[in-house]
Structure formats: C-alpha cells, structure tokens
C-alpha cells in the first residue's frame, strides 16, 4: 500500500500518489468519450488498410479492396474535364477565326483556353506575357515576320518556321561573312546603312553610296528595294523601330556575317486543332494583331 494520503482534501478526490515538492496531481482518468474516440481511430485505421493501398511490400504494395490509385483518378478526372469542355470547345471548332474574335463570349473562351496553353507551350521562348526575348519575337507588338493576321498567325502556330514540317515557313538569312559573299568592310558599311534606314546614328566615315549598292545587290532580294521586308520569306522590315536580335552595329555585323535561322516548332502535331485555333485568337488579341 502506498504510504500517502491519496485523497486531496480540497476537492475530495484521489491523487496519483506521486509527489513533487509537496504538489500532488489529482487522479483524473481520460474521459470516456476520448477513449472511445481513440478506439474508433484504431478501427478506422484497420478499415483503411483493407480498403486502400497501405502496406509497402518488397517489390509491390497491397492494393486494397478498392484498388484506388491517384494516377488512375487523375487520368479519369482529366478525361472528365475534356468531356465537360468538349461541347463548348466544339463551338470554337466550328466558328471561323473572325467570328470567334467578334463574339465576346467566344473571344473570352478562346482567350481563356489560349492563355493556359500559351503558358504551357509558348512561354518558355516567348515569355509568360508574350513579350519575347532576343531572337524570340514579342507577340504584343505590331511587327510580324510571317504576318500578323488571324490566318497567318494560325498558320505559323500550326506549321512553325524552319521546323522541318513540309508546310513550315522557309526563309533564310544568309551568312554573308562566313560564306565569303561580302568582305568585312562591306558588312560594316551595310550594317551602318541598315541603321540609317530606321534613323539610327551611323559611323562618321560611312560610305552611303557604296552601302546602297551593296544592299541593292545582296539584300534587296529578300528585304525589298525599300528594305520594308517580305513576310512571305520572313524577311524583317529594316526601317522600323523593332529589332529581333538588336540594332547596334556589332549585333548587325554578327547577323550579316553569320545569318539568322530562328526556329519556331510546328504545333499542329502536338496540340489539337481547336486548341491551336484558340491559341491563334489569343495571340492575335494580345496586341490586336495586324
């Protein structure tokens, strides 16, 4: 028998018998509801083992009575989502690009769809806001290498540029320096000439007459006599304020010497036609296209 007065005088209740510096703890058993809840959780856990995948085995795991798998449920959820969207997206498939853009509801739908697809597929090169980067066009502005109408944008997304697809845009900026077509002096001269076309400053000893001749003989074929570019060939307009790779003399010399062959992948094989259509409308709506 424990040698202590195991009844606390004030509340008249028994204590645990332990004493710390004269303080004794009242013997308060766990409440019944708590005990019951505790047993209920144990039962629940056993139920879980039976119903859901639970035990890791050496090379596998117990699959449980329901054979539940998160992957399978994600797949079925995605299928359900596609089905849910199917009807609405089918409307986008039937409407023409112009019809979509002129109908507020369809435009909102296409923009919503295009925005997510853009973020997943296009943002790595063109940036999340489609503002582009060096070598990757800004899709918000009004300067389009291959054309900025709805149909032209659609075509570019579908087949890309220099993508290897049979219908892709083809066009090449030759490597005038590397291939020995122009000498370095001529390249510097024509680089200065191109800068002068859009009102940028030129080198002091720049020979305008020679530059005009070199441009007419080598560049005008693609960029045009007046250097306004040619969208059929993806040749940029050299007289505007927008430069894909940069407008300083060194960058221009590099461009002329080695050429530029930026590639845009073809998306028709990776994205379904309706999604590509929504994407075209989205991109066109960013800056209003051309």
Helix ranges (DSSP H) in 23-126: 32-51, 70-94, 97-102, 104-121, 123-126
155 touches other proteins by CB under 8 A: no
Backbone torsions φ then ψ of 238, nearest 5 degrees = -95, 0
Q: What H or E segment, with its residue span, contains residue 4?
A: none
By beta-carbon proximity to other proteins, the closer residue of 214 and 233 is: 233
286 makes contact with other proteins (CB under 8 A): yes
288 binds other proteins (CB under 8 A): yes
- Can residue 29 be called a binding residue for other proteins (CB under 8 A)? no
Angle formed by the axes of helices 273-287 and 70-94, to 10°?
A: 70
Q: For 190-276, where are the E strands, in sequence order?
A: none
Can you tell me which of 143, 207, 249, 254 binds other proteins, judged by CB under 8 A? 143
Question: Please, which residue, 64 or 132, has the CB nearer to other proteins?
Answer: 132
Q: CB 11 → other proteins: shortest distance, Å? A: 5
Does 102 engage in binding with other proteins (CB under 8 A)? yes
142 binds other proteins (CB under 8 A): yes
- Return the SS3 of 250: helix
Region 194-213 residues binding other proteins, contact defined as CB under 8 A: none
For 172-181, the CB contacts below 8 A with 24+ separation are: 172/259, 172/261, 173/222, 173/235, 173/255, 173/259, 173/260, 173/261, 174/259, 175/257, 175/258, 175/259, 176/218, 176/256, 176/257, 176/259, 177/253, 177/256, 177/257, 177/258, 178/257, 178/258, 178/259, 181/218
Pairing of strands 7-8, 13-20: antiparallel
- Count residues contacting other proteins (CB under 8 A)? 27
* Segment contacting other proteins by CB under 8 A, of 157-165, 184-192, 260-268, 280-288: 280-288
What x-and-dash track marks residues 229-248 binding other proteins by CB under 8 A? Answer: --------x--xxx------
Residue 151 touches other proteins, criterion: CB under 8 A: no
Tell me which stretch binds other proteins (CB under 8 A): 68-76, 125-133, 173-181, 267-275.
Answer: 125-133
Give yes or no for residue 64 binding other proteins (CB under 8 A).
Answer: no
Using CB under 8 A as the binding rule, whether residue 129 contacts other proteins is answered as yes
Q: Which two tokens stand for residue 74?
A: 């994600």
Q: In the chain, how long is the greatest CA-to-CA distance?
A: 119
30 lines the binding site for other proteins (CB under 8 A): no
Binding residues vs other proteins (CB under 8 A) = 10-11, 101-104, 107-108, 111, 127-131, 138, 140-143, 237, 240-242, 285-288
């Amino acid at each position: 028998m424990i040698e202590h007065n195991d009844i606390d005088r004030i509340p008249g209740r028994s204590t645990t018998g332990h004493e710390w510096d004269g303080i004794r703890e009242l013997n308060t058993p766990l409440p019944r509801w708590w005990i019951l809840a505790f047993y209920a959780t144990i039962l629940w856990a056993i139920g879980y083992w039976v119903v859901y995948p639970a035990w890791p085995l050496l090379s596998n795991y117990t699959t449980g009575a329901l054979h539940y798998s998160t992957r399978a449920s994600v797949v079925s959820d995605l299928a359900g989502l596609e089905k849910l969207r199917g009807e609405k997206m089918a409307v986008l498939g039937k409407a023409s690009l112009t019809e979509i853009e002129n109908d507020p509801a369809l435009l909102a739908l296409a923009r919503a769809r295009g925005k997510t697809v853009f973020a997943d597929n296009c943002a790595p090169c063109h940036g999340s806001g489609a503002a582009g980067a060096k070598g990757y066009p800004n899709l918000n502005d009004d300067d389009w290498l291959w054309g900025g109408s709805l149909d032209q944008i659609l075509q570019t997304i579908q087949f890309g540029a220099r993508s290897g697809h049979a219908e892709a845009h083809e066009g090449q900026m030759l490597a005038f320096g590397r291939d020995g077509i122009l000498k370095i002096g001529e390249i510097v001269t024509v680089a200065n000439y191109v800068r002068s076309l859009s009102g940028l400053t030129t080198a002091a000893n720049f020979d305008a007459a020679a530059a005009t001749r070199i441009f007419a003989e080598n560049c005008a074929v693609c960029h045009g006599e007046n250097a306004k570019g040619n969208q059929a060939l993806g040749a940029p307009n050299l007289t505007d304020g927008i430069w894909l790779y940069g407008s300083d003399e060194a960058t221009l010399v590099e461009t002329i010497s080695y050429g530029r062959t930026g590639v845009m992948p073809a998306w028709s094989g990776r994205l379904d036609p309706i999604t590509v259509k929504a994407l075209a409308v989205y991109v066109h709506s960013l800056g209003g296209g051309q």
